[in-house]
Each structure stands twice: as structure tokens, then as C-alpha cells.
Structure 1
Amino acid sequence: MRATDLIAPTWPLDQSIAVNPWWKFKEQPYLKTAAELKTVANVNGFASSDFFLALFQQGRITQSSLKQAAARVGVNETPEQLVSRLQQQQAPVSLTLFSAQVDNFRDVHYMRWQEEIVHQISQFCAAHFQSLRPMLGKADLEKGAPLYAHWLDVTRVDYGLSIVLSAPKLRKLLNELPSDPEETITKVQQELDIAPDFEEAFALSCLYDIHGWASWVAYREWQNHTPTGDSYFASHVQQGEMRELLAIRMAWEWLVFTYLKRFDVLLFERSVQAWQKQWLKFDEVVETNRAHLQVVQVWQLALEIEYQLQLESAFKGAKPAEHEDRSPWLQAVFCIDVRSEVIRRALESQHEGIETKGFAGFFGVPLAYQPQGSAMVRSQTPGLLSPALRVEEALERHEVRARVERLNKKARIQTWAQAAPSAFSMVESMGLAYAPKLLRGRTLSHVVNDLSHVKNWRVLGSEDTLAASELADIAVSVITAMSFDRFAPLVLLVGHGSQSCNNLQAAALDCGACCGQSGEVNSRVLAQILNNVEVRHLLRERGMQVPAETRFVPALHNTTTDDIELLDELPQHDFPLPIKDVLGKARALAQRERLVRFEPEKSAWNTEALDKLLRKRAHDWSQQRPEWGLADNAAFIMAPRTWTRGINLEGRTFLHDYHAEKDENWSVLTLLMTAPMVVGHWINMQYNLSVTEPLKFGSGNKVLHNAVGGSIGVFEGNGGDLRIGLAKQSVFDGERWLHTPQRLTVVIAAPQAAIAKIIEQHPDLESLINNDWIHLLQWQQGEPLMRFYQGAWQPNSQP
């Protein structure tokens, strides 16, 4: 595969969802990917040797699990030998680009070529892709200037580069570069004498040097190929942008190579000999790295086996539900997000008549939200799917006019604030008006979220409002997928969102299934559909009986404070316990468990102190860690909730309700394995790689973040590559990593034949499982967990 096809996308800040940065490598084994990328890009797919040795000393990895892991990987060594190998073997070797090799020999008082190259490309890309107010070549951008051509125009008139790099004749070389990016790529390959066998490895090394911007270009191309993608990208993305970005980075290698060849022969000869020598050993280095990482993979697998044994032990120790046949009086459907596992247990622990369910947080309604009076359309759908519906608030004309006037007023103030000549006068004139908000520790929430707090919604298809029969189709699909077989008088549809201040990565803490947004809109819209009288009538005609007394109420779980806010009135009913008291107690239980797990020093704090601390974090502008998000996620379980109810899964599992006996043609299981399971894998890999390789796949120090192009992403400081992934503060508390990097363990309660058939029909699933990206286990109560690998089933406890 070409190097330009191997970069995964990164979503913008205001739609931030987790992505596996190595998604495009899934067709090959994880070990091979880790060895190759360590070689060409110096990135780590596994944790350090010290990390695994510490776990061994703590007893979290045992000799037994090491033996089992070694047998599976095919390493014929004892646990003692594996410990010795980990302690003594040298770190893997990485090859470098020519510019980086030159820096190894250059006078340390000079600016490093490689750093300045990344800085220059990054600053240019930030200006080029800044959609709101382009800072460079605005006229060219409006004409649709391609990326490479625009870079060439800008760089040829940049006198500062020659000064910064102490290379006075550099600008003259720029005129020798071809105007066509493909010709530039060919020129670089020929003049740097890149062997055909290494062309793609060299190209990949170039792209990984500016991996953040390569990921952004991959997102633009992803959206451009999505039928209902962002309209901006549909009209602005140039074909072949990734190749043009590659041409830019390769052009810089040619510039450094040619400049030294002509004007600094001694440095050139030293550098080129060392550089060519290392690339001649490419295959040898890859194999050496693979052999090294194979030992590390044994330790990685041993850690994952230990976790799976703990899961299996917990499953065996679970008590059967004593009141399974009793009708519930309260049901709550939560997103499968690992943070909901804790509060679901907290709710259920209060009464046997409380039942919770897990479902993808967009609630099966793939919609895009367009506020009335606005041209903006916001996806509320998982990144792997495209919105099939559009929703808007059902407002009267006078309400829309008032909203437009209010939004225009805000826009004028924002323009005033952002214009260079008037920015200071705006602060002097209006600054005091913001004092109360600053003293309260918060400002207004996102303007679009403010608009969504309405009860009545209009659901539209391609053009017109959906008919009741079409809404009933949605209701049938959702109720079936949620595995409802009985209905409580009150059913809460609990979306989730986070609460923080001064946090550029706030969307990463919201609902990933809603494309980095709060789940409020999806919750409100689905509740309206399911409460619709005409829809209820049509459901009865289709044999789906929803009691007349059942009311679906939208709600929102604040994952920072664990509040559950009811977004509509409760039905009149004599509940065994006051609903708000139940929610309040669940909040207190969840707050304590989640805080103490990540911050054990607070175990002695009382309930009021913990609650006060979390609310302060939600409103604190200086807070770097408002919450821990999905840190330490480890498993995805598809099974009836009755099988896991009462088991403390420690907030580490995605929990999706699934009843195989109701899934006649395995359509629900197919959907779960091809969508939510893959999303869970993406989340898991983003957290893993943000820990194992924070320089490339993490976004660095949150304190130093600066927004790029409005919402494209962040710089750490004022330059360098575009930073993607999680900030260090999201996974590290200052002393220890709070996410354990381990590959996702998927547990499915379904017949083996059905699971195997679905895997066989979907090549992506087959690749993820057979190439060691995820573990897939089958669960049948009372039986050992069975592992599916390379087309066969065997007990998971066997090597």
C-alpha cells in the first residue's frame, strides 16, 4: 500500500472523536506494524521494558501468564529468561531522514534543519487550512490554490528561512523545484538515490515527520469521500492533497541535500555516507526490531491474559438475578461509554426494580443537528457512520427571528474582538462586563449547545419532515436493538456530556458516538419519537406493545460531576423511591468510586467534600484534569445486563446489552460488531498510543496548548507539528500513568457459529482479530471463555 494511504484521520477540536492512528495498518499483524513504524518513524507501539517489569514485581503479570503468552506468540523461553531478556536487550533502532542525519554532525549552535522544516511546514499548513480567515495567500485560496503550489509561492518569498537556517543561498534552490508535486516526488527519489524497494518506507518516514498535519489532510479526504460529509470540505478539498503534502516534505529533503552538496561538501559527505549506510540496512533493522518487540509482545499479551482471567473469575462469581421476572419500575438506557458502568451499578444497587441498559450514545438515531436560524449543521453520529436524518427545533417564526438577531449581535461582538485594530478597545470597553463570569469561574457554554435546550423537534429526511410511519420505523429499529422486552413506567434515555472550562479538548470528553458532542439532542429527539401518540399506535399495529403509561424522558449524565439531569418532566406515578433521591445517591456512589480509583489519597474524604471538589473542577479555568475520561478502558462486553449485574467492572468496560435469543438473523450482532465494537477499538488504541508514544500520538502539555485555525487542532506552544491525540494530563497524574495500555478484549454472549460467520463476512473484523489488534472471546454462562483466532475456537485458558 502507498504511504499516503496509511495515515488515519484526526477530527477537529469541536468534533473530537477517538481514532486508532494505526487504523490503516490493520491488514498486517500488530507486531509487524510496530516493528516497521519503529524503524521508519521512531514510534513505540508497546510500553517500555521498565513498565512491564514493574507490573511483574507488583504481581499484575505472573509466571503463569508469561508461559501462556510465550506459547501463543511462539517464543520458546522460560519466564526467567523473559525477565532477563527484558532487562538486558537494547532498545530498537530507528532510521532517520537526511535532514535529521545532518543535524547529528552540524554545529550545535545552528538551528536544527529538521526542527525548522517541521516548524515551517506546520506554520504554512495552519495558515493554508485556516478556513475562517486565511492568513497567507488569501487571494490564492479563494481561487482554490492547491496545497503544494501555495507552499511553493509562499516559501519562495520567505527571506527569513535563509537567515534562521544560516543558509544564505537556500532561496535560489527553491526556483529549481518543479511546479508539479508528482514531478517533485520523482526528482527527490532520483537525486537522493532512493532505492525502489525503499520508496514507500522513505515516503512514510517523511509523512510521519509531520504526522499531525498528515492526519488532518487524511480527515479532509475522509470527509470528501463521505456522502453526507461536511459541506465545507466537499467544496474545498483538492484531490490528492496527501500526495502534495508528501511532495512538500520531500522537497525539503532535496533542499537540504542539494544545498550541502553544493555549498558544504565536507558536512555533506559525512552526512550522506551515514544516511545511505543506515537505509541499506533497512530490512535488517526491521527484522532486528521485530525480534526485540516479539519479546515485548509476550509481556503485553501476558498483561492482557491476566486481565481476561480476572474477567472470567468475576463472571463465574456473579450471582444470578433474584428478581429477573419482576417488572422494573425504572429503566435507564446509558451510552456504552466506560464511565457509565460505574453509575449504572450505583443506580441498580438501590432497588431490584431499577434496570439499566447500554447502547451506543447516539441512541441509534444517526442525525445531524441544524439549529433554526443558522446555516451550521453539526453531526451527532459516530465517525464511522454518516447522518441519515436532520433535526431542528420546532420554533415559531417570531422565535426564529429573535434568535437570528441574538446570534448576529454575538457575531458582531466576536468580529469586533477578533479584528486586530479594535481588539484592545473591545477589551477596555467590555472587559468589566465579563467580571461576574470570571468570578463565578465560568463563561457561557457553547452557543450551539445553548440552542438545543428545547422540547419540541422537527425530524427531516432529505427534504421534508418525516411521516409518522417513518418515525415508527426508527422506533422499531431502536427498541429492537436496545433489547427491550418489557417497559417500566419511566424510561430514562441518558445521553452524556462533560463539563469543563478553558479546555480546548473538551469535545474529547463528550460523547464519541455523537461525534464529540453532548448526547442531549439525540436523547431529546428519540424521546419525542417514542412518546408520540401516533407512533405508539403504529407500533401496536406492528405487534410491539409499549404500555400507555410508559414515558420516555430524556436525561443527561454529566461525566465530570456524575449528575443526571432530567430534561423533561417526570410522569405522574407512585414510584417506590423518589426519582431525584435515587439519582442523587447514585451520583454520590459513583463520585466516590471513580475518584478514589484514580486518586486513592482521597478515600477518607466525606461525600460533601468529594462533590464540592468535582464541581469546582468543572468550573475551574486552571483545572488541567477536570475528569479522567475513558482512561484505563480495557474491554467491550455484549451480553444481557442480567449476566453482569452486580459485578464490579471498575469502570473499564464498554457495556452493550445484547440478547442472542432475540436476534433471529444476527442483524443486531452484525451491527454491534461492525460499528460500536470498532469504535471501542479506536478509543482503546488512541488511549494506548497516547501512553506508549505521547510525542507523536499524544498532544503534549495541555497548559501550552494554542488553538490552530479555530478548531483544526492544537500546537504545543507556538509551533512544531499539529498535535493530535490526548494531552498528557488526560492519562498521567504527574507521578503515574492512569491508563494501562492493553489491547481491547471483546466478550460476546452469542453462538460461536454466528460470531464466526460475521467475522468471515467482514474483512476488517477478520484483520483486527487475526492480526492481534483485539482479543475476541465468546461467553456462555457456566462455560469457560472461548477464544476465536485464525478461524478456530479454543478455551482462552489454553496457550
Structure 2
Amino acid sequence: MTTNTPESRRAAIRGWVAVAGRAISPHHPLETFIARNPLADYEHLPYEEALRAVAREHGILLTRAEAEFREMHAAGRITDEDLVAALHVVVPEARTPRPVIVDGRITSITEILRQDLLVSPPAVTSGASMPTPAAALFPRLHARVDDLTGRWLAALLGAPAWSTPIRRGPMWETWRRLAALDPSVPRRVRAGIRTAPVDPADAIDAALQRWGIDDDGAESFIRAHLLAQPGWTALVRSVGDRARGTDLTSLVAVRATWERLLLPADAALPETTASSSDTAARQEAVAHALGADGAGVGVSATLHRTLSLVDATARLAVWQEAYERRVARTLSPSAEPVLRPVGPAMARPLAHAVFCIDPRSESFRRHLEAAADVETLGFAGFFAVPISFRPADGSPEVASCPVLLTPRVAISESSVDRDAITGWRRRRSAHLERRATVQALEKSTLAPYAFAETAGWVFGAAAAARTVAPRAWRAASERLRSRKPPTHVDADVVFGLEERVLYAETALRMMGLVDGFARIVLLCGHGASVTNNPFASSLQCGACGGHEGEPNARAAAMIFNDPATRAGLVERGIHIPDDMLFVAAQMDTVTDEVTVLEPWRIPATHETAMWELSRALERARSANVVDRAAELPGAPVGAADSVVVADARRRAADWAEAYPEWGLVGNAAFIVGPRAITAGRDLGRRAFLHSYDTAADPDGSGLETILTAPMIVAQWINAQYAASTVAPDRFGAGPKPLHNVVGTVGVLSGFGGDVRIGLPWQSVGVGREARHEPVRLQVFVQAPLARINAIVESSEVVRTLVLHRWITLRAREHDTDRWLRFGSYGWHTEPGFAVAEASAATVAREEQREKENL
């Protein structure tokens, strides 16, 4: 239906833009980079439908290629049993036991579809996204449109020092004014820009009329332009401001107007042709595999009817499901817990250590438990304290909490010694100002030339020193700058007593720590020390919004240690012993060094225990660094532990290091339950481990929070790593050596083009080989099924992810129960799960009992 008034027409066009823009998720600037599924807005579709839509609109496969899956099947990585089980999940008709007769041979729907997976022509894509008119007619002019638009957006959003005039007004208005003065485009194009409509929606309408596109095709035309440069589109979605005129409508108007004016006046859209079907080829291949005569009428009809149940894209969904089953079996928690001996001398452990659920903590926790009598727990790294943090050095305030939450309060860092912090802050501010001045000079139009002539020799020598001896350079730099005086955070001031008690109770119940406290509970946040890495925030704590977890650990420790808070907890059924001390710490995931953040708060009564814990942390650090180094490119594998630890320090300081650490590569599972079900197992840093004890969460609110917040963030991370692996040119940031930083918003590969989204290739692969396994998040929850059912029913986000199979949810109520999988018709058992794990757990338990008897 055609709209009548100009206002209604503009509203319709803006609506089409809003819908089309959902084809790519917002991309956060580098300084606040967090993992996010770049295709999150496809999650309203079932997984197979999303695969089709992504292939059609983006021109890429969201899985491995079918040929790769077949190679893994031939090598035994994917078994026939996995294929059959996957067919039963994806294709309901395959579950029927009814036999099928093909050329006199008795077979089944499952067997026909299994052969289809193995022998039919593999699924392919066009390798290109939806074409704009320019892409379909004149690819070189399409590239010209991309280049002109990218340069404009780099100036607008990248904020170079010379781009102030560009940011003075709305995006479309400013573009019309300044692009009409661009001497690099023909005069007729400049004249067309001057006479372009004042409203960007009208400019889009003019393009639609130019190409003869009706309302039914308008959204596809707009989506094609938005997906021509998905990086800039995602960035505008994230930082755009409709009130200031920076929005997707203006972006489409700029691109569509460039295209309309640059293409010849007599250009016309080509006729679309229907794609040919591969049904005949599939039928012939499957008939041959079954040993049947495919030319027979009955055979052809039977195979056609059966093969129509799946298309090439659905086959990929089956392969993906089969591929993930082995990963799930490998990472599924034990069917029975590994028992920890308890005796009079071990009734109270040396310490409890609470780490972020981040997979990098999994191996450190395992090594720490082996190094001393320490019980570890997993909890989201913001420790249930959603804050914004003001550092003592005057740096900008940051939101240190999951992006799903809004900071409740702003916490400031203060010094115990006011005079000392004043002098340090003055020196620190001077250093930051000098650095800001240098950066401004680098971005200005003419100043870099004069700056290079006068100061280049100094910076050249410094660059040489940093390159040759990165560790020595960092050590010297730290000595030149005064060390930071002791500081504290004012959580006890900004949070009211009721809030402190609520936060404390929520955190303790969610992690299952409500009794049996050790004398020390270490709250260990994490961060990553890296140099010259635009994607540094991707290595920080995702639960803290891409920042370090230090302020949250300090605020949480202060809240837990507050006498009034503890008194309030007693009224809620949680009694923290008087001799119990919460200690804030920070783990560097590059060097694995754990630093106590406020050592001056530790009383003399706990010094011995802290000394023992520090020794255990150092032993765990050495063991974990050696463990991780085996997988890092260029690491001194087989060298002495001290050499490997020193290499980790070098990676943190070396500004040329492309692999400081592996981050969350390999992440595949989210496990919710007591530590006993994963203790002692090497999960290869592939699992998010969130502690949970049903008895400590009587009303189930803790489990609801876990599944609606930490699990969602884990799914974002998992989806982004997968997308950056299977489609690095589309959803990844490309190789680090090619990166050119655009202000603080993103990177380009080379000098122009689209801003890159996703993770650098060096975060997911080495050379041409992917290091990350692209699998959907496998979620295991040990909790009452009724609670999980209620959460799935009440949370639309969780329900959509589960029922549309963007995640796989398995659960059980007790340690010895089999894992059940949630599907369209509720919970059901799966073949191949829990049998082997139960046997292994039983053996481990019997061995433990024998040791105790000895």
C-alpha cells in the first residue's frame, strides 16, 4: 500500500530502515569493546532459518563448510551416531520408526537423510552480500561509493582533530553542505548533492523512484546498502544519535545519493533469475549410495518426498549439531562428584577463592586447588556490585558492570594519605596531559610534520628501546613514575545499609557460600596487561563492561567486611564468622600474577594464612603459565618454568606481540553447579564455571539471575568468537598487522574501507588455521527442573535462545542423575550422555576411598 502524505511516507521509510538495520548488531567502540553476537537480531528466528537469512543477506555461511564437516566425519571426529542424533533434533520426521521402501530395499527416513549428508552436492553461498544497484551493475562504482562513505564516516565518528566542521550539525545536513565542495567527484555529482532533498528520508525515496523499486522491494534495497558496509552500519547503530541527526536513515541517504548520482543516467536494474534446484543431483547421489536405481518413478518420488524435508542449509544445521555433540560430551560435568576427603585437620580450608566465571579462570582454579587446601568458586567478575568507577588519577569514569545493567552508584577511589595522593595525582595528570598532547599532534593536519622534525629522534630512540627490550622499558617507565599511594574505595559511603546487605546476600547465595567459611575469602577480579593493543578491552572482564574487575572486587570486599552488613546478614540466615576476612585481589590473565589490592587492610592475625595463600597462588601461577604456554605461538615450550614465566611478562610489555594470550578462545560451555562436579577435571579453559548450590538459593532467585545475566553475556562471547572464526572477513577484525585505528571507534584494514567488527584473527587463529572451535554454547545446569522451567517460561530472552537452538540447555537435579536436554517438547534423555562420565566418576571415587583407607 502506497502512503499518501510526505510525513507518512518519511515515517514508512524510517520504519524500513529500522527493520533493515537489525541485520547487523551494534558494534561498541574500542574503548568499551565487549563481545556481542553480530547477528543477535536474527535470534528471533529458529537456527536453521537464521542460517538461510544470513546466507542470503550477508553471503556467508554461519557454520563451517559442509566439505569440512565431511572430512571430520571421515576422520572419526563426527560419528554416525552423532549424525543420527542430530537428525532427530533438527528433523522431527526423522524420529519416526516407520520403514521406507526404496527400489525394493527397506530403509528409513533417517538413513536416507544420513546418506544425503554424506554424498549430496555440498552447500555453498554466493560469496557476496545482497547487491545494491551499483554492485549489480558497476562493481567499480560500488567500490567508489564504499570509499566515499567510509572516509566521511571516519571523519565524522573517528574524531580527528581536523574534522570539527563535520560534527557541527546533523550528519545529512553537513554532508550535503560539505560533499558538494569535494573536488574529487564530478561537477554534475556536486550539483546533484546541492539539490538533494533536505530530509534524508526524502533522499532515500528519490533513490527508490530512480530505480523503480516499489514498497515491497524498498526494505531489501535499504538492507543491501546497510550490509554493503556492515562495520560502519553497526557502529552507527551503537554511537548514533537520532536527536543529533546521526542515524541509519542518514547513512542510507548518503550511500543511496552517491550511488544515484555516480551511476549513468540510463543504467537500469538487471532482471533477477531464479536459482536452479539441486534436487535431481541430490536424488541421484543418494540413490547411488543406497544401491538403488534412481531413474525409477517410485524411487524418484520417494527420494524427492524425503529429501524435501531438508535443504542444503538445513544439512549444515544437522552437521553443526552433530559436531557439537562431541564437544558437549567432552565438557559435560561428571555424573557423580569427585569426593574431597574431609577430616579434622581439613574441616576448614586455608581459603576460599572466588574467581570470575571467565574460562581463563578454570585452569588457574584447578592449579590453585592442587597447590594448597583452597576451595575455589566461580562468580560473575563484577561481584554483584554494579558501579561506575572514578579512579584516583582523574581518568574518565567507567561503568564497571555488565552492559545489561545500569550502574546504581558512582564509587570514587581515595587515598589513605591525602597529601601523598595529591602529589601522585598531580604527577599522573601531567603524564596524561603530555600523552594527550602527543596524540592530538599526531591527529592534526600539519603538526605531525613539524613534530617529527623536532622530537622524532627522541621518540625514535624510545621506540627502538621498546622494541629491543620491552620488559626493561616497562620497568624503567614504572620507576620513573611515582608508585601509586595506598587507596580505598568508598563503597560503605555510597551504598546504604539495606543495599549493602542485599548485595552481600545475593552474591553469597548465588555462589553457594553461606556457611563453612574459611578464615580468608579471596575475591579475585581480573584484567589483562597488554601494550599497543587496540582490542585490549576484549581481554578484560566482560562482566565489568570490558574493564578490569579491580574496583568491583575492592567494593565487594569492603561491603562483606562491614560489621553492619554482617549483622544484617545474620537476620537473613547467613552468619559470617568474626575471624573471617574478605580480601580483594586482581589476576593478570597475561602473566597469571595475582596481586592483593589492599594489603594494608590485612590484620596481623591473618598474615600467616595470607603468606601461605600467596605461596599457593605463586605455585598456581607458574603451573598455569606453563600450561597455557603450550598453546601460545612462539612460546618456549619445554623450557624451565622461570623462563616461561619471564616470556609471559615479555608478552605483556612487548608492543609488537600479536599473541599476548588466547583470551576466551575455545569457549564452548557454561556450567552452573557446585564445584564438586568439575573439580579435578581439565576442561582446557573452554568452560564458564558459575558456582551454584540449590540449598543456598531457597527461592530460586539466584538461579534466575545466573541464567538471565551471566549466561546471556557468555552466549554473546561465544557467538562473537564463532562468527569471527567462520567469517573473519565479514564479522572479524582481520590480521593485526594491517590495523589502522580510527580514533577510539574501531580499526580499518589498511588505509580505508569498512571499519572492522568482531575479533582480530590473532584472537581466534594462527596462520590460516583456526584455533577456536565454532560451536554454540552448551549450557549445563544442576538445579531442580521445576526452577529451570519457570525461568525459561518467564524470560523471553532465555526461552528464545533455548527453543530456537541458539544454545543447548541440559540439566539434572542431582549429582547422580543423567543429563536431560530441553527441547520443543520438554526434557528428554540423549543417547551417549552420562554413561561414560558416570563410569569414570565411579572409578575416581573408588580410588579416593582406597587412598583414605590406606
Same fold (TM > 0.5) = yes
Deviation at 1:578, TM superposition (A): 2.4
The alpha-carbon distance between structure 1 residues 174 and 96, as it changes in their structure 2 partners (threshold 3 A), is same
- AA partner of residue 242 (structure 1): L
Q: Does 1:559 align with 2:592?
A: no
- CA–CA distance in structure 1, aligned partners of residues 155 and 588 of structure 2: 36
SS at the partner of 2:264? helix
Q: Does 1:260 align with 2:268?
A: no
Q: Deviations over 1:333-388 (max 9, x none)?
A: 0000011000111111234x310000001111101112347372211111221111
Match for residue 27 of structure 2? 10
- CA–CA distance in structure 1, aligned partners of residues 433 and 785 of structure 2: 61
Structure with higher Rg: it is 2
Q: Does 1:370 align with 2:390?
A: yes
Match for residue 102 of structure 2? none
Tell me, yes or no, if the aligned pair for 2:663 and 2:763 is still in contact at 8 Å. yes
Tell me, yes or no, if the aligned pair for 1:320 and 1:643 is still in contact at 8 Å. no
Match for residue 503 of structure 2? 474
The alpha-carbon distance between structure 1 residues 140 and 67, as it changes in their structure 2 partners (threshold 3 A), is closer
Tell which deviates more after alignment, 28-37 or 11-20: 28-37
Match for residue 349 of structure 1? 370
Q: Deviations over 1:565-598 (max 9, x none)?
A: 2223355445498223211221122123223256
Tell me, yes or no, if the aligned pair for 2:491 and 2:559 is still in contact at 8 Å. no
- CA–CA distance in structure 2, aligned partners of residues 118 and 284 of structure 1: 35
- CA–CA distance in structure 2, aligned partners of residues 668 and 542 of structure 1: 15
Q: Does 1:303 align with 2:338?
A: no
Q: Does 1:339 align with 2:363?
A: no
Tell me, yes or no, if the aligned pair for 1:358 and 1:656 is still in contact at 8 Å. yes
Tell me, yes or no, if the aligned pair for 2:524 and 2:585 is still in contact at 8 Å. yes
- CA–CA distance in structure 2, aligned partners of residues 423 and 761 of structure 1: 61
Deviation at 1:414, TM superposition (A): 3.4
- CA–CA distance in structure 2, aligned partners of residues 608 and 505 of structure 1: 28
Q: Does 1:583 align with 2:617?
A: yes
Q: Does 1:539 align with 2:578?
A: no
Q: Does 1:734 align with 2:763?
A: no
The alpha-carbon distance between structure 1 residues 139 and 618, as it changes in their structure 2 partners (threshold 3 A), is closer
Q: Deviations over 1:732-789 (max 9, x none)?
A: 1114211000100111111112111111111111111111111011123222211112
Q: Does 1:135 align with 2:162?
A: yes
Deviation at 1:459, TM superposition (A): 3.0
Report matched runs for 1:337-486 at 5 Å.
337-351=358-372, 353-372=373-392, 374=394, 376-395=396-415, 398=419, 401-402=422-423, 405-414=426-435, 416-417=437-438, 418-419=440-441, 420-421=446-447, 423-424=451-452, 425-428=454-457, 440-441=469-470, 454-459=486-491, 465-484=494-513, 485-486=515-516
Could you state the TM-score of these two structures normalised by the residue count of structure 1?
Answer: 0.87
SS at the partner of 1:349? helix
Q: Which runs of 5+ in 1 are unaligned?
A: 105-111, 163-167, 225-235, 263-267
- CA–CA distance in structure 2, aligned partners of residues 453 and 702 of structure 1: 36
2:660 to 626, 641, 654: 626
Match for residue 302 of structure 2? none
Match for residue 61 of structure 2? 44
The alpha-carbon distance between structure 1 residues 250 and 536, as it changes in their structure 2 partners (threshold 3 A), is same
Q: Does 1:765 align with 2:806?
A: no
2:239 to 220, 232, 236: 220
Q: Deviations over 1:501-551 (max 9, x none)?
A: 211111111111111111111112211222233433443454432112111
- AA partner of residue 629 (structure 1): G
1:683 to 704, 717, 721: 717
Q: Does 1:321 align with 2:340?
A: yes
Deviation at 1:330, TM superposition (A): 1.0
- CA–CA distance in structure 2, aligned partners of residues 156 and 7 of structure 1: 30
- CA–CA distance in structure 1, aligned partners of residues 465 and 22 of structure 2: 50
- AA partner of residue 151 (structure 1): W
Tell me, yes or no, if the aligned pair for 2:83 and 2:114 is still in contact at 8 Å. no
Match for residue 175 of structure 1? 194
Match for residue 145 of structure 2? 117
Deviation at 1:661, TM superposition (A): 2.4
SS at the partner of 1:249? helix
Tell me, yes or no, if the aligned pair for 1:697 and 1:725 is still in contact at 8 Å. yes
2:171 to 147, 151, 165: 147
Match for residue 106 of structure 2? none
Deviation at 1:179, TM superposition (A): 1.9
Match for residue 498 of structure 1? 528
The alpha-carbon distance between structure 1 residues 615 and 148, as it changes in their structure 2 partners (threshold 3 A), is same
Tell me, yes or no, if the aligned pair for 1:16 and 1:505 is still in contact at 8 Å. yes
Match for residue 537 of structure 2? 507
Match for residue 134 of structure 2? 99
1:638 to 659, 672, 676: 672
Report matched runs for 1:621-770 at 5 Å.
621-709=655-743, 711-770=744-803
SS at the partner of 1:627? coil
- CA–CA distance in structure 2, aligned partners of residues 577 and 405 of structure 1: 34
The alpha-carbon distance between structure 1 residues 201 and 372, as it changes in their structure 2 partners (threshold 3 A), is same
The alpha-carbon distance between structure 1 residues 600 and 617, as it changes in their structure 2 partners (threshold 3 A), is closer
Q: Deviations over 1:86-125 (max 9, x none)?
A: 6645545754222112235xxxxxxx22222222211111
Deviation at 1:38, TM superposition (A): 1.5
Q: Which runs of 5+ in 2 are unaligned?
A: 1-17, 95-108, 280-306, 834-854
Match for residue 53 of structure 1? 70
Match for residue 629 of structure 2? 595
Match for residue 32 of structure 1? 49
Match for residue 247 of structure 1? 253
Q: Does 1:203 align with 2:222?
A: yes
Deviation at 1:651, TM superposition (A): 1.0
Deviation at 1:59, TM superposition (A): 2.0
The alpha-carbon distance between structure 1 residues 638 and 155, as it changes in their structure 2 partners (threshold 3 A), is same
Report matched runs for 1:515-530 at 5 Å.
515-530=545-560
The alpha-carbon distance between structure 1 residues 614 and 430, as it changes in their structure 2 partners (threshold 3 A), is closer
- AA partner of residue 246 (structure 1): V
Tell which deviates more after alignment, 336-345 or 640-649: 640-649
Q: Deviations over 1:172-213 (max 9, x none)?
A: 332343121111122222221224333223322211112111
Match for residue 204 of structure 2? 185
Deviation at 1:216, TM superposition (A): 1.2
Tell which deviates more after alignment, 618-627 or 35-44: 35-44
- CA–CA distance in structure 1, aligned partners of residues 648 and 627 of structure 2: 13
Match for residue 298 of structure 2? none
- CA–CA distance in structure 1, aligned partners of residues 427 and 520 of structure 2: 37
- CA–CA distance in structure 2, aligned partners of residues 790 and 565 of structure 1: 47
The alpha-carbon distance between structure 1 residues 760 and 493, as it changes in their structure 2 partners (threshold 3 A), is same
Tell me, yes or no, if the aligned pair for 2:637 and 2:644 is still in contact at 8 Å. no
Tell me, yes or no, if the aligned pair for 1:127 and 1:134 is still in contact at 8 Å. no
SS at the partner of 1:261? coil
SS at the partner of 1:631? coil
The alpha-carbon distance between structure 1 residues 538 and 72, as it changes in their structure 2 partners (threshold 3 A), is closer
Tell me, yes or no, if the aligned pair for 1:93 and 1:289 is still in contact at 8 Å. no
- AA partner of residue 703 (structure 2): L
- CA–CA distance in structure 2, aligned partners of residues 392 and 562 of structure 1: 27
- AA partner of residue 193 (structure 2): L
- AA partner of residue 352 (structure 2): Q
1:161 to 169, 176, 185: 185
Q: Deviations over 1:443-471 (max 9, x none)?
A: 77999x999874311238xxx73344543
Deviation at 1:128, TM superposition (A): 1.0
Q: Does 1:614 align with 2:648?
A: yes
